[in-house]
Amino acid sequence: MLTDIEAMRLNFMLKNDNKVLEIPIVKIRPNKAQPRKTFDETELAALSTSISENGILQPLSVRKISAAEYELVAGERRLRASVLAGLRKVPCIVLKCSEKESAIYALLENLQRSDLGIFEEARGISKLIRRYGLTQEEAANRLGKSQSTIANKLRLLRLTYEEQEWIVNAGLTERHARALLRIEDDALRHEALSKIISENLNTSQTDELVGILINSVPKTIKSKGTSKAVIKDLRIFLNTINKAIDTMRLAGIDAQSNKKDTDNFIEYTIRIPKRHQKPDAEKTA
């Protein structure tokens, strides 16, 4: 059974005579629907060297958009590497396809590459849906994925752009990102992400951390017109207080704390001297 991308390729083959033309690079315009925004410079340099020595083994795919211009359908890495290699013309197959077909084909080509970033993929799917008015189900059918998979991919875009950058730069996985989505509070999610990166937490540890944080957030329960704050797990807050006191003591500050439990409260009394006390080692030196 043909996959969506194989079916599309076959459709293009039937619609085109597949003649390879040498087209000047200056006449080829990038594909506006290209989902990939970052390209590995080392890989491009290696591909450029290969092209210089062996030429382009697989022609680029383009579509004609005017008498003097073509739009790239597939092969942006080869095009960029060709520019680096100093080529003026590249071999291309001119496809007879619509702008919509071109966008879908470009996305499909990139989705089959394992190094396409999780947010690049999500943004590509989102752009495809918005530009051509597709439903998630229609997009799923076009891309050969389930509707739930498409929905989960799109949910990743609820993370802020800054959070997305942190996740990408830290090399975190899609499962890390999806776990973070469970935290609705922006500040708490930001704090969790910082901890995940600094402590190099794996996905299981991340799920555990997120669960603790979610259970630590006050939740409002409305009953008979009144609101009651419920905190399921206070450990993370108490640990923060204890760590702060320990840090001050290590710095030579004689901070004192006293914890008292009552039926309704956990009461902390912290005493911090106004004047800095030198550590014992310095006093006896």
Whether 93 and 26 map to the same domain: the answer is: yes
Centroid of chain to Cα 282: 49
Whether 208 and 242 map to the same domain: the answer is: no
Domain boundary among 195, 219, 243: 219
Whether 105 and 25 map to the same domain: the answer is: yes
- DSSP conformation class of 278: P
Whether 206 and 240 map to the same domain: the answer is: no
Phi, psi of 275 (to 5 degrees): -95, 135
Q: Are 253 and 242 in contact (CB under 8 A)?
A: no
Whether 163 and 99 map to the same domain: the answer is: no
Reported confidence tier of residue 285, pLDDT bands at 50, 70, 90: very low
Whether 87 and 184 map to the same domain: the answer is: no
Q: Which of 12, 57, 155 minimizes the C-alpha distance to 4?
A: 12
Whether 135 maps to a domain, the answer reads no
Return the higher-pLDDT residue of 39 and 11: 39
pLDDT at 228: 39
Distance CA 93, CA 78 (A): 14
pLDDT at 68: 87
pLDDT at 13: 47
The CATH number of residue 112's host domain is 3.90.1530.30
- Take residue 240 and report the two structure tokens written for it: 């923060």
- DSSP conformation class of 26: G
Whether 26 and 92 map to the same domain: the answer is: yes
Distance CA 36, CA 40 (A): 11
Whether 102 and 38 map to the same domain: the answer is: yes
Residues contacting residue 233 through CB under 8 Å, at least 6 positions apart: 212, 215, 216
Q: Which residue is listed with tokens 């914890």?
A: 259
* Distance linking the first and last C-alpha atoms of the chain: 81
Whether 212 and 268 map to the same domain: the answer is: no
Beta strands in the chain (DSSP E): 20-24, 28-29, 60-64, 70-74, 89-95, 219-223, 226-230, 256-261, 266-271
Task: Point out the residues that are catalytic.
Answer: 76
How many domains does the structure of the chain reveal?
A: 3
Domain boundary among 219, 242, 271: 219
Whether 202 and 245 map to the same domain: the answer is: no
- State which amino acid sits at residue 132: Y
Q: What is the pLDDT of residues 12-42, one digit of tens each?
A: 544 555 678 899 999 999 887 776 767 778 8
Domain boundary among 88, 116, 144: 116
Q: Are 47 and 78 in contact (CB under 8 A)?
A: yes
Q: What is the pLDDT of residues 271-284, one digit of tens each?
A: 888 775 554 544 44
pLDDT at 155: 95
Distance CA 46, CA 130 (A): 36
Work out the average pLDDT over 3-16: 49
Whether 210 and 256 map to the same domain: the answer is: no
Whether 15 and 110 map to the same domain: the answer is: yes
Domain that holds residue 174: 159-219
Q: What is the pLDDT of residues 162-200, one digit of tens each?
A: 999 999 999 999 999 999 999 988 889 998 999 999 999
Q: What is the pLDDT of residues 121-175, one digit of tens each?
A: 898 888 878 877 888 888 888 777 889 999 999 999 999 999 999 999 999 999 9
Whether 142 maps to a domain, the answer reads no
Whether 261 maps to a domain, the answer reads yes
pLDDT at 81: 92
Phi, psi of 276 (to 5 degrees): -70, 130
